[in-house]
Structure 1
Amino acid sequence: MAKTFEVNKTIKEINERIKNGKAVVVNAEEMVEIVRSKGKVEAAKEIDVVTTGTFSPMCSSGMLFNIGQEPPTMKTSQVWLNNVPCYAGIAAADAYIGATEPAEDDPLNKVYPGRFAYGGGHVIEDLIAGKTVRLKAKAYGTDCYPRKEIEKDITLKDLPNAVMLNPRNCYQNYNCAVNMTSRTIYTYMGPLKANQRNANFATAGQLSPLFNDPYLKTIGLGTRIFLAGSKGYVIGAGTQHVKNPARNERGIPLGGSGTLMIKGDLEGMDPRYFRGLSFQGYGCTASVGIGIPIPILNEEMAWYTGVSDADIQMPVKDYGYDYPNGIGRALAHVTFEELKSGEITVNGKVIPTVPLTSHVISLEIADKLKSWIQKGDFLLTEPVEEIEST
């Protein structure tokens, strides 16, 4: 039987309020106090949109691009940007560069294998920033595509098409990483000191998009989002998306679960919200800035967007032995509020915590998206297909 709600709005109605400058928009941190003080029904009546934000390492990101043609034409079989290999097995002049692909001539890697300083994420950041990048391509040559090589300097403006296409972003929840071995280890969660001397975590907590819509009731194929300083779209579930995770009483998953696949044109993006990274001993990646507007259609959505850091439980996992050996056990669950405090206690041991996500920029993204909506520069979209979450 369908739920009945005291408050019922549609995205179309909310968009009309945005166009007329009457929409009430708050960020996800502001919504926590509104729901706490006024209750979910009054909050749903008062608020039209809640904006979220996250700026965090997201390895499964990259750029799909076309280098264009110039006489004689070419069917690329190998492509490099600043000596970072790209995948070229797509079409004549199309290629894809991944954020985690390292440069072939990285000097740091020659001295310290596995400790890459420059990679695909840095190339994408350079292009967004308007910098010059060295393009090199090779081909075997055909009757219709006779050119066999090309090498030149390019900027983003020289590429006919350049689309950020990220297979897996916005993890709904994730691990807090510790190391129970007797040596320091180097991971995608950053360096982890021996004997649990630090605990690294990565999420924006109550600001994080998928914590504010845990069942993906308003997020699906076609949802318009803030992506790296410009507008982008959700194009479906991301890779490793978990449809039916274990959840707490607020619907928050107790471990890694929902993910999103997203896209957006690089033109208009801001390098402040996309940064190439290098993790010592692990390799290259990138931090991606994403903000998703949550329409408050009813009191249920008001309740979900009232989630606080204290409601979010994250699993603490050992990356020294358990993770590399495929053991999925959690040593404990701790709240995001505890992680933000600077230390957690696991099995009687007090462990300092280290965030990999920037709270400052995550909040900045939520507020920038809020201002776009308030100015009428950003309208909400109806998902044309749901993302399965239960």
Structure 2
Amino acid sequence: LNQAYLFNPRNAYQNYSAATNTTKTTKRTYMGTLLPCMGNVTYTTSGEMSPLLKDPKLRTIGIGTRILLCGGEGFVVFEGTQAVNKAETLENGDKYYAGYTLAVIGDMKGMKSEYIRAATFDGYGVSLFVGIGIPIPVIDEDMMADIAVPNERLYTYVYDYGYSERSRKALARVSYAQLRSGEVEIDGKKIRTAPLSSVYKARKIADELKNKILNGEFLMTNPAAPLPPREKLEVLNTERNK
């Protein structure tokens, strides 16, 4: 092939919600199989390994940023679908970031199958596991403070996926340290947790990117333009006007 490239309009979800199921029936979802009566909690974001949680204000990540996409060279081309970067200040002073996303493109000829894999969710459908590494330069003390925030101070909400998307309720706010411990507590019940993303792979991608930079094989770039801010997510209303 002369050209083979991957364009993916939604990647590196900054901070996706965790999922559980309060109903009495098993639910097959894109968050995996959710057991009845809050039998488990699944989550996808890798916490302190999530690039957009390390640069939550998008100060160094923008249009034109060079990235490591599936082990090969790629670039951020625009905001991703469902991107929202509104921040909420919590009662303890920490920040909760909703969930920005990135649209990216890369040369498939340089990619590694280890970092791009087909995924199937039993009873739901298919998806794709995509590994992304984004270099974040420490440009000042404020950037260092954001980069240094640990899992204990990074949070997401657990939503009830037993019901349709528009009527889902947030059941609890938990830290990624709690999720990574293998157990969270909701309404006095201890619930097992399971990740859908691999922290092992995330660390491996980060190490590979670091070595490429140190060896002069990967040149960091300044963004050509900032990514657009997005305060809220517009929801498609399919109901006809009466």
Candidates 161, 170, 175, aligned match of 1:330? 170
Displacement of 1:245 in angstroms is: 4.0
Candidates 81, 96, 118, aligned match of 1:239? 81
Q: Secondary structure at the match of 2:177?
A: helix
Displacement of 1:236 in angstroms is: 1.1
2:121 alignment partner in structure 1: 279
Q: Does 1:343 align with 2:155?
A: no
Aligned residues: 228
1:285 and 1:301 map into 2 onto residues whose CA distance is 33
User: Does structure 2 retain, via aligned residues, the 8 Å contact 1:197–1:351?
Assistant: yes
1:218 alignment partner in structure 2: 60
User: Does structure 2 retain, via aligned residues, the 8 Å contact 1:173–1:203?
Assistant: yes
2:72 alignment partner in structure 1: 230
1:131-157 Cα offsets, whole Å, 9 max, x none, are: xxxxxxxxxxxxxxxxxxxxxxxxxxx
Higher share of residues assigned strand? 2
1:164-201 Cα offsets, whole Å, 9 max, x none, are: 10101111101110001101110000000000000001
1:388 and 1:310 map into 2 onto residues whose CA distance is 29
How is 1:299-318 mapped onto 2 (pairs within 5 angstroms)? 299-318=141-160
How is 1:153-192 mapped onto 2 (pairs within 5 angstroms)? 159-192=1-34
1:296 alignment partner in structure 2: 138
CA RMSD across the alignment: 1.3
Q: Does 1:367 align with 2:207?
A: yes
Q: Does 1:204 align with 2:46?
A: yes
How is 1:118-157 mapped onto 2 (pairs within 5 angstroms)? none
Q: Which amino acid aligns with 1:330?
A: A
Give the structure-1-normalised TM-score.
Answer: 0.57
The structure 1 segments of at least 4 consecutive aligned residues displaced by more than 6 Å after TM superposition are none
Percent sequence identity over aligned pairs: 43
CA 1:388 to 1:328, structure 2 compared with 1: closer, same or farther past 3 Å? farther
2:102 alignment partner in structure 1: 260
Displacement of 1:327 in angstroms is: 2.2
Greater radius of gyration (CA): 1
Give the structure-2-normalised TM-score.
Answer: 0.91
1:243 and 1:177 map into 2 onto residues whose CA distance is 20
User: Does structure 1 retain, via aligned residues, the 8 Å contact 2:87–2:96?
Assistant: no
1:32-68 Cα offsets, whole Å, 9 max, x none, are: xxxxxxxxxxxxxxxxxxxxxxxxxxxxxxxxxxxxx
